[in-house]
């Protein structure tokens, strides 16, 4: 695998497809450009998902994050696009992207978007005391 | 867009209207005047919403916050008014305003108000373990 | 309004009675006397409520807290009494009192009591991701 | 009341039996002996309950905790026994004991056990925004 | 019991099998090898379970964690394997394994997997105010 | 010893007078009255000292704190008075009083005053890496 | 005393002039205008001083802070000006002003300025272990 | 070595006696009895020292802490005694004992005592920026 | 001033040159490229200085940080270079740069470098109790 | 450079040898074996140094840490050995190693050792207010 920024997200086979389980991936090293001013924006990106047949490869995830470094991107739109791209390659049962953007003008912004595979029902959560 | 305080909230088109997703915006730079004493009050204002056709423009949000700087405002009332004003311009599926006011007389006050569009049903939350 | 300790709680008209919204008020300046030893007890008192026609006036809330300064009071009983007194004057849709008492003999005690107006149904909570 | 360690838990009458409310009691001063090695173990013990006719007396609770000082006790078993003893004397509507034991061999252990009175139904929780 | 790393998990009889209760065990001393690079990986492993007839012996749990020290293991797979191994020996009513892996390449990963015994229904959680 | 508020501070003999060592005592249960408004003020009081022949008795320290409950007191003055009173009874080698007062009008105040016995030289501090 | 914003700082007599002691005053309710953009700036202002003959009156301190609400002010300059103004009215032995300004453009700024009365020597600090 | 509580502190040879270096040891598992009431007291004990020829053996340190479990002990005295006992067996170049006792009657107490070997001079501390 | 990345640092006249005072500037939005792998590195950069005739202009500071976005830079070298560049343009009395770099391979790195103008002596610090 | 555990520490030339500056390196991924029980020990290792002609290469530092994975090591001795090894290869002006070891038997241990090159004098620290 190259160490170039890349929109090509890679996956590997889920070794435990018979079980709904959760993978959480998080990086505070996301940066893109503001489409209005051209100046750098910074964010923490969180990914939570329940894999189906495929899992997101970690290094490819990192190179994908890198691919936004020279790209203009609005907060609301880029969060939804990252979700769409990740859903497209790994076809999960459930996926959530959270984008926590750095303060601008005294204002903090967080955007959260989710995908649920048609027909998939989340397991009833067990709340232990 | 001017950099004057302004009650004119601006919006932009939601690029992902087919999906219920969440936008969280927060500023600790809200200040108004106490209607009883005329002295400054300070608060943190949080906005959480699920957009429909329109999103709240961030700079306009900031100028709107600024518009309260010389205005008398009760904690309970102003929180509800901010909600009404934001609902009026962006017609969201859901919106919540949280006003966290600075301590006065040893007493801390927080006010939270919500709007739900008629007919809109919140997506069943997925609680991942 | 006097600045004497007072059991007289005052209210003002709720300006937004058509909406269920939440008001949170909190003070760490509650002190009373232990009925067994006569020594001072200290607590943080939290009030959460959904107003109906009337809201609790903040300064009167403070003077009411003050009224316990020379009064003996058991943790469990005083938390319920504060709830009863506040319900009596403002007839809320919902109210919760939390009393967090200072450690005594290495033991921490917290008491929480709630009131719900007959016929009032809490709005279905919207849990945003 | 003596100031000797004692398994005799004392209670007092609940002054507000018509209302389901919560009492939380917590101490970080629990110590017993490890049945395998004879060495001291330490824990924080939390008690949450909804009283029925009787409340747990705080000083007696402390003396009861003290009674384990020279007694061998397994983490899982002692947490359940404390629950049984407290249920026996105060017959609550609901009770939960949480035992948070000090790290041993790099491993942290917490045990949580609950009792619900037959026929008692927990009030529907009100989640305020 | 030896003090060698061991895949042999030991159990002891649950002294309170008539009650659904929770045992939480946690260690930050898990280390294995990355199957790709051969370099050490580090994680915190959390175990939450509701025992049936058997409880997990703490020292054996520690030796089992130790058994991964020289073994290659992917984050997603090893979390599921630990769950399978623990379920196999203690046949719990419910079990959850959480693996919180150290940052690699600026990316943090957490994996969570659960097992529920067929026919077991989690007790309705009591949410106290 | 009575359990009445009392300006009578009691002491006991320092069992280790040949060594300069430090005693730190702290309570967050100090309350007095504001001389301007008559309303309650609250503070945390910290005492640090190097004893000479006498140590401050803890229960008497608590009753002395209690003695301010119905007394008017300015922040700056009362901190210095507490220092003077404690110095008078225990004649320490060094003493420091820190008064951390609750926020009033959005303003936090802390006052710190020290006493050094004539001729006493503080030991050269050993700063370990 | 009026409750208008005011550059008139008031003082009261130091009741303990024979002792070097420290008064710390802090507010997070400072706001002024940016001289370049005209937009509001926000800061926390901390004052530490050793009084000589006069102490800073707290309410006047608050009204003085308020006086910057409609005034343009650079971070570096305004911190030094606040120091000059406070030194002018209370002629302290030592004074320090710390201005902690809100993030702007992703950059946080803090400015600290000090005054020492000619001839005043700080007491040798006692560092207790 | 036995696993009985023991006043016999054991040591081992310092392998690096040519260098002044620091060893910090800390336990939150100290408990003794209050000499006035006979009730348990709890504390965290911290030990900092610069060894000379001998180091404190960790397991013996733990058994020594255990030896106070059934012993009456005043806060100030026991901290100095622990220092004396440790100095006697390991003859360090420098040693400090910090005893942080649990709150009693709303009052927190910490005691710190130090020993310096005659003729030993602490290395000039290097404060890196 | 442009909003392009720029090595041109701008300054403005220090309005209070007669006083040694401190300016602290901090951003967590520094990113450069690793000279070995070409991959992005991230850091928080802190600047502390005592200005002489000139102060660092904040927006220019931000654009200067931006100028490293496409540049290869070793942690140790770049921290010293930033110091040299800032010293060159504003000729301060004292300046310190702290570079806190993101974890790589499980290892965290921080680099701190200082400049002192020849002949400048730091004011004796006043340590208030 | 290999990715095998290695006692061979590598260095690179210090690009700024004319300036005393500080490099801080830290990893929480140190593990060795207890010489008494053979069981794994875990620690966080911190390195602070002022380089002279050579800097410690980060990847070699990591491989050196790895080299302890199968080696028995006492806390006090291994901290001093790491210092000796690093001093030997990079001959710094100053170096400090801090080893923070995981709790064992309820006891936490930290060891700190320093090296100063003969004739090197630490720069007078500048303490900014
Ligand atoms: Ca940030
Ligand atoms: Ca629960
Ligand atoms: Ca505030
Ligand atoms: Ca308290
Ligand atoms: Ca959610
Ligand atoms: Ca503990
Ligand atoms: Ca809510
Ligand atoms: Ca880690
Ligand atoms: Ca307070
Ligand atoms: Ca702020
Ligand atoms: Ca010290
Ligand atoms: Ca404690
Ligand atoms: Ca420094
Ligand atoms: Ca980071
Ligand atoms: Ca650890
Ligand atoms: Ca300073």
The answer to whether E107 is a known ligand-binding residue is no
pLDDT digits 0-9 by tens, I21-43 = 999 999 999 999 999 999 999 99
Residues A52, B6: Cα–Cα separation, whole Å: 49
Of these residues, A20, A34, A52, A85, which one is catalytic?
A: A34
Rounded to the nearest angstrom, the distance between the alpha carbon of F75 and the centre of ligand 9 is 14
Q: Mean pLDDT over all residues of chain J? A: 96
Q: Output the pLDDT for position A32.
A: 98
Residue pair D49/D91 in contact by the 8 Å Cβ criterion: no
The answer to whether A29 is a known ligand-binding residue is no
**Does B31 lie at the interface with A, CB-CB under 8 angstroms?**
no
Chains that touch E (3 or more CB pairs under 8 A): A, B, C, D, I, J
Q: Output the pLDDT for position D43.
A: 98
Rounded to the nearest angstrom, the distance between the alpha carbon of I27 and the centre of ligand 13 is 19
- Residues on chain A touching D127 (C-beta within 8 angstroms): none
* Token pair recorded at residue A96: 């959530």
Is pLDDT at E1 greater than 50 in this prediction? no
Tell me the percentage of chain G whose pLDDT exceeds 70.
Answer: 98
Residue pair H94/H23 in contact by the 8 Å Cβ criterion: no
Q: Output the pLDDT for position A28.
A: 97
- G119 pLDDT band, cuts 50/70/90, is very high
Tell me the percentage of chain F whose pLDDT exceeds 90.
Answer: 95
pLDDT digits 0-9 by tens, F5-35 = 999 999 999 999 999 999 999 999 999 999 9
- Inter-chain residue contact J128 with G114, CB threshold 8 Å: no
- Residues on chain G touching B42 (C-beta within 8 angstroms): 28-29, 31
Query: In Å, how far is J63's CA from the nearest CA of chain D?
Result: 25
Q: Output the pLDDT for position C3.
A: 81
Residue pair F79/F41 in contact by the 8 Å Cβ criterion: no
Query: In Å, how far is B112's CA from the nearest CA of chain C?
Result: 5
Tell me the percentage of chain G whose pLDDT exceeds 90.
Answer: 95
The answer to whether E103 is a known ligand-binding residue is no
Is pLDDT at G25 greater than 60 in this prediction? yes
Tell me the percentage of chain I whose pLDDT exceeds 70.
Answer: 98
Is pLDDT at C2 greater than 70 in this prediction? no
Ligand nearest to the CA of I28: 1
pLDDT digits 0-9 by tens, F52-66 = 999 999 999 999 999
Chains that touch J (3 or more CB pairs under 8 A): D, E, F, G, H, I
**Does E38 lie at the interface with I, CB-CB under 8 angstroms?**
no
- Inter-chain residue contact J21 with I126, CB threshold 8 Å: no
Residues lower than pLDDT 50 in chain A: 1
Q: Output the pLDDT for position F3.
A: 81
Ligand nearest to the CA of I109: 14
Q: Output the pLDDT for position J3.
A: 81
Is pLDDT at B1 greater than 60 in this prediction? no
**Does D35 lie at the interface with H, CB-CB under 8 angstroms?**
no
Tell me the percentage of chain H whose pLDDT exceeds 70.
Answer: 98
Query: In Å, how far is F128's CA from the nearest CA of chain J?
Result: 9
Residues G84, C52: Cα–Cα separation, whole Å: 52
**Does C112 lie at the interface with E, CB-CB under 8 angstroms?**
yes
Q: Output the pLDDT for position I2.
A: 59
Q: Output the pLDDT for position H3.
A: 81
Closest residue of chain G to J129, computed from CA coordinates: G112
Residue pair B42/F105 in contact by the 8 Å Cβ criterion: no
Which residue has 């453009």 as its token pair? Answer: G105
Ligand nearest to the CA of G31: 10
Is pLDDT at D3 greater than 90 in this prediction? no
- Inter-chain residue contact C40 with F3, CB threshold 8 Å: no
pLDDT digits 0-9 by tens, B80-90 = 999 999 999 99
- Inter-chain residue contact H116 with F126, CB threshold 8 Å: yes
Is pLDDT at F76 greater than 60 in this prediction? yes
pLDDT digits 0-9 by tens, J38-63 = 999 999 999 999 999 999 999 999 99
Is pLDDT at B9 greater than 70 in this prediction? yes
Closest residue of chain D to B95, computed from CA coordinates: D129
Q: 3-state DSSP call for residue D41? A: strand
Query: In Å, how far is I61's CA from the nearest CA of chain G?
Result: 9
User: How far from C120 is each of C25, C92, C95, C124, D126, CA to CA, in Å?
Assistant: 22, 10, 12, 12, 11
User: How far from B108 is each of B72, E2, E38, G104, CA to CA, in Å?
Assistant: 19, 58, 55, 28
- Residues on chain C touching H42 (C-beta within 8 angstroms): 106
pLDDT digits 0-9 by tens, I45-76 = 999 999 999 999 999 999 999 999 999 999 99
- Binding-site annotation: residue ranges of H for substrate: 56-58, 75-76
**Does D79 lie at the interface with E, CB-CB under 8 angstroms?**
yes
Query: In Å, how far is I2's CA from the nearest CA of chain G?
Result: 14
Is pLDDT at D1 greater than 50 in this prediction? no
Q: Mean pLDDT over all residues of chain E? A: 96
Nearest in space to A99 (alpha carbons), one of A50, A65, A122, A51: A65
Characterize E40-64 residue by residue with b for buried, 16 or more Cβ atoms within 10 angstroms of its Cβ, and e for exposed.
Answer: bbbbebbbbbbbbebbbbbebbbbb
For chain B, the residue count is 129
The mean per-residue pLDDT over the stretch D34-50 comes to: 96
**Does I126 lie at the interface with F, CB-CB under 8 angstroms?**
no
Mutate to test the interface with A, among E19, E106, E115, E126 (most CBs of A within 10 A): E106
The answer to whether I76 is a known ligand-binding residue is yes
Rounded to the nearest angstrom, the distance between the alpha carbon of J124 and the centre of ligand 4 is 42
State the distance between the two ends of chain H, measured CA to CA, in whole angstroms. Answer: 45
Which residue has 């300059």 as its token pair? Answer: G77
Q: Output the pLDDT for position F1.
A: 47
Q: Output the pLDDT for position B2.
A: 59
Is pLDDT at I99 greater than 80 in this prediction? yes
Query: In Å, how far is A39's CA from the nearest CA of chain G?
Result: 10
- J1 pLDDT band, cuts 50/70/90, is very low
Residues J31, J35, J36, J39, CA torsion sign? positive
| Residue A41: active-site member | yes
Those residues whose C-beta lies under 8 Å from the C-beta of residue H44, and which sit 6 or more positions away, are H26, H27, H28, H30, H99, H100
- Residues on chain E touching B128 (C-beta within 8 angstroms): 112
- E2 pLDDT band, cuts 50/70/90, is low
Closest residue of chain A to I5, computed from CA coordinates: A39
Of these residues, J13, J18, J34, J48, which one is catalytic?
A: J34
Q: Output the pLDDT for position J19.
A: 96
**Does E128 lie at the interface with C, CB-CB under 8 angstroms?**
yes
Rounded to the nearest angstrom, the distance between the alpha carbon of F44 and the centre of ligand 4 is 9
Contact flag for I and C (3+ C-beta pairs < 8 Å): no
- Inter-chain residue contact B112 with C21, CB threshold 8 Å: yes
Q: Output the pLDDT for position I3.
A: 81
Contact flag for A and J (3+ C-beta pairs < 8 Å): no
Tell me the percentage of chain H whose pLDDT exceeds 90.
Answer: 96
Ligand nearest to the CA of I124: 16
Rounded to the nearest angstrom, the distance between the alpha carbon of F113 and the centre of ligand 11 is 19
Q: Output the pLDDT for position C86.
A: 98
**Does E74 lie at the interface with D, CB-CB under 8 angstroms?**
no
Residue pair J116/J52 in contact by the 8 Å Cβ criterion: no
Ligand nearest to the CA of G42: 10
Let me know the angle formed at the C-alpha of D27 by D22 and D31, rounded to the nearest 5 degrees. Answer: 140
pLDDT digits 0-9 by tens, C66-87 = 999 999 999 999 999 999 999 9
C42, C102, C106: residue with CB nearest H102: C106
Q: Output the pLDDT for position B3.
A: 81
Residue pair I29/A40 in contact by the 8 Å Cβ criterion: yes
Those residues whose C-beta lies under 8 Å from the C-beta of residue B65, and which sit 6 or more positions away, are B27, B29, B30, B45
**Does G112 lie at the interface with I, CB-CB under 8 angstroms?**
yes
User: How far from G102 is each of B25, E5, F61, G29, G48, CA to CA, in Å?
Assistant: 17, 53, 42, 12, 21
Residues E102, E34: Cα–Cα separation, whole Å: 12
- Residues on chain C touching B94 (C-beta within 8 angstroms): 126, 128
- Domains and their CATH numbers in chain D: 24-116 (3.30.1130.10)
């Amino acid at each position: 695998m190259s160490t170039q920024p890349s929109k090509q997200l890679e996956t590997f086979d889920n070794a435990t497809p018979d079980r709904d389980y959760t993978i959480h991936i998080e990086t505070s090293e996301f940066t893109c450009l503001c489409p209005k001013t051209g100046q750098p924006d910074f964010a923490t990106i969180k990914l939570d998902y329940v894999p189906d047949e495929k899992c997101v490869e970690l290094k490819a995830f990192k190179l994908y994050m890198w691919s936004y470094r020279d790209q203009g991107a609005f907060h609301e739109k880029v969060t939804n696009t990252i979700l769409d791209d990740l859903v497209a390659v790994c076809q999960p049962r459930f996926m959530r992207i959270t984008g926590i953007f750095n303060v601008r003008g005294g204002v903090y912004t967080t955007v959260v978007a989710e995908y649920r595979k048609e027909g998939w029902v989340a397991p009833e959560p067990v709340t232990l005391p």
